[in-house]
Amino acid sequence: MEIVNTAQALQGQLSGQSAPAGGIAFVPTMGNLHEGHLSLVARGLDAGAKVVVSIFVNPLQFSAGEDLDAYPRTLEHDLVQLAAIGADLVFTPDVSTLYPNGLQAHTTVRVPHLTDVLCGQHRAGHFDGVTTVVCKLLNLVSPDIAFFGEKDLQQLLVIRRMVKDLAMPIRIEGVPTFRAADGLALSSRNSYLSPAERAIAPQLYKNLVTISEGIQSGSGDYAGLCQTAVQRLDSLGFVTEYCEVRRCQDLALAGPDDTDAAVFVAAQLGGTRLIDNIQVGTY
């Protein structure tokens, strides 16, 4: 496994050898890797691709007051895990490599509309930071395919739209959320949870399942189902930011006629912000 930290070295590695039949697969990450990230790498390896992973905690996608400084940085352990699974190339740029003129002076890539709701509404500028860095990384790596976790479903939909709108010749593939045995979606931020909070955290997914079951059994009152879930979550100690059923196509609020929708939830538990979703209505 090769590890590079400059754009020149990355491109040297990528142009040095001919790509395998499976092409080049890319998995962008912010490090602190868990089984969810490794399942994205495994998908690329299974496809016979040369798998490139980036590890970069992107300051542009954190708003003032968020956890940029506290975000867990575990590079050595990440590299051990990536070598063990068989990743081919790891790109670990620093901030000045990706933003040589500073964060504020960098061109911004912005996807409108899809970023106005859900996390976009609660985290000012977050998705502009994500699309800017992902666009740049995709241009540097030029993969045939890039993998993103469905846990961040809004992010996946936003990136798909960016790639389509900008005619980038890259296939964007979502990979199902990796869950702990009790249902909690794996996330780098789970390490912030105290043991007591960790015990409550799976309720987030349990409530998504309850809403999904309500929808499958014919309830058309999506707002009511979500409101009941918010009351249950808040009574357990969550501070729910949003819980909504939205269409995957355009993130408009969904109703019983929509066949491709998801329930999206975000909630604070103590000092930790958790998000999750469950896809519903694909009949």
Answer for the pair 159, 283: CB distance below 8 angstroms, yes or no.
no
Closer of 150 and 152 to ligand PAF (Cβ): 152
Kindly report the backbone phi and psi dihedral angles of residue 185, in degrees, each rounded to the nearest multiple of 5, phi listed first: -70, 130
Q: How far is the CB of 109 from ligand PAF (least distance, A)?
A: 12
Closer of 138 and 225 to ligand PAF (Cβ): 138
- The stretch among 90-98, 104-112, 129-137, 212-220 that binds ligand PAF (CB under 6 A) is 129-137
176: left (phi over 0), alpha (psi -120 to 50) or beta: beta
For β-strands 50-55 and 89-91, DSSP reports them as parallel
> Binding mask 53-72 vs ligand PAF (x if CB under 6 A, - otherwise)?
-----x--x-----------
- 3-class DSSP state of 64: coil
Closer of 61 and 277 to ligand PAF (Cβ): 61
Spatial separation of the C-alpha atoms in residues 133 and 254, rounded to whole Å: 30
Q: How far is the CB of 154 from ligand PAF (least distance, A)?
A: 11
Answer for the pair 111, 158: CB distance below 8 angstroms, yes or no.
yes
Q: Does residue 130 interact with ligand PAF by CB under 6 A?
A: yes
Q: How far is the CB of 73 from ligand PAF (least distance, A)?
A: 13
- 3-class DSSP state of 243: strand
DSSP label at residue 231:
H
Q: Does residue 30 interact with ligand PAF by CB under 6 A?
A: yes
> Can you point out the beta strands (E) in the chain?
2-4, 24-29, 50-55, 89-91, 145-149, 171-175, 238-247, 261-269, 272-280
Spatial separation of the C-alpha atoms in residues 252 and 261, rounded to whole Å: 9
Kindly report the backbone phi and psi dihedral angles of residue 32, in degrees, each rounded to the nearest multiple of 5, phi listed first: 50, 55
Answer for the pair 265, 240: CB distance below 8 angstroms, yes or no.
yes
- The stretch among 83-91, 126-134, 197-205, 252-260 that binds ligand PAF (CB under 6 A) is 126-134
DSSP label at residue 184:
P
Which one among 14, 133, 266, 267 touches ligand PAF, defined by CB under 6 A? 133
Q: How far is the CB of 59 from ligand PAF (least distance, A)?
A: 10
- The stretch among 27-35, 110-118, 253-261, 268-276 that binds ligand PAF (CB under 6 A) is 27-35
- The stretch among 83-91, 130-138, 216-224, 255-263 that binds ligand PAF (CB under 6 A) is 130-138
Q: How many residues interact with ligand PAF (rule CB under 6 A)? A: 10
Residue with tokens 């590299």: 79
Q: Does residue 185 interact with ligand PAF by CB under 6 A?
A: no
Residues constituting the chain: 283
Q: How far is the CB of 229 from ligand PAF (least distance, A)?
A: 25
| The one catalytic residue among 37, 77, 113, 122 | 37
Q: Does residue 134 interact with ligand PAF by CB under 6 A?
A: yes
Q: Is 37 one of the annotated active-site residues of the chain?
A: yes
Answer for the pair 7, 93: CB distance below 8 angstroms, yes or no.
yes
Closer of 30 and 251 to ligand PAF (Cβ): 30
Positions in the binding site for ligand PAF (CB under 6 A): 28-30, 58, 61, 130, 133-134, 152, 155
The residues carrying an active-site annotation are 37
